[in-house]
Amino acid sequence: MGLAFTKMHGLGNDFMVVDAISQTIDFQPDQVKQWANRHTGIGFDQLLVVEKPQTAQADFRYRIFNADGSEVQQCGNGARCFARFVYDKGLTQKHQIPVETASGLIVLYLEDDGQVRVNMGVPRFEPSALPFIAEQRAASYALEVDNQAWSIGAVSMGNPHAVLLVDDVDQAPVKTLGAAIESHSRFPERVNVGFVQILATNHIRLRVFERGAGETQACGTGACAAMAVLRLWDRVDEQVTVSLPGGDLVIRWSGSQDSPLWMSGPVATAFEGVIYED
């Protein structure tokens, strides 16, 4: 009996999506790494698993595994693909879908124009929310990497993010500095690292080195984190277009510390497949 899956992407941030309600899935981290391999496997940034909810408030449980096999709390681009998947597969007929994640309940909205809008929850800037080792909460922090100090913002969007403001994302040391910050000792559970360039108060560019995956074509929670930090710094408007290597997302946040942040963007299905294990 094979394992049916769907390959999807949000702006090039790609996923293997599996229905674990209609079929049984039992896998180990090494299998995820094998499936994620772009030369010998399916190839993806994250594996998304659709499960039955464990709370009455949700219609589904949403689980996310990085390409290295580690499970994480949240993925914005994945959440949009998740919404399209459960609708297209006939698992729901709703256009407003409450979903349980490891970091709490989120709500996914299927729009008439094919876009998916996600209530990403309230940005959390307390260091303990990431977690991040700091004496107290601050708008920005000095982080020493290889004897050089970098100024970062830090925020949790259900998963941890460090945000650096740069003059030109094309020239930013995403691979090297991103990897160094991802595993920095002040982030005990590692961190996603965003390099952001301000084009205008309503338009920014972003590249993200994702925890456990490396640089990706797009990162939904990274786009939310970048906008939240820049809004905290009073550098951007209430609605911002975030241009990532894979395309654009629209992020909206009032800036109020108790208001949720909203993300809108496209999704696409690449292909369907079945895995037959030896």
Q: How many CB atoms neighbour CB 257 within 10 A?
A: 10
Phi and psi, residue 33, nearest 5°: -60, -40
The yes-or-no answer on residue 75 being catalytic is yes
Distances (CA, A) of 196 to 143, 174, 199: 17, 11, 10
> If you ran DSSP here, which 8-state letter would residue 170 be given?
G
Task: Indicate which residue of 75, 79, 110, 191 is catalytic.
Answer: 75
Task: For the chain, state the CA radius of gyration.
Answer: 18
If residue 173 lies in a helix (H) or strand (E), which one and from where to where? none
The yes-or-no answer on residue 224 being catalytic is no
> If you ran DSSP here, which 8-state letter would residue 185 be given?
T
Nearest to 121 by CA among 100, 141, 95, 91: 100
Q: Show the CA angle centred on residue 62, arms to residues 60 and 63, nearest 5°.
A: 145
Distances (CA, A) of 135 to 105, 131, 185: 29, 12, 15
Task: Indicate which residue of 81, 86, 107, 219 is catalytic.
Answer: 219
* Residues noted as catalytic: 75, 219
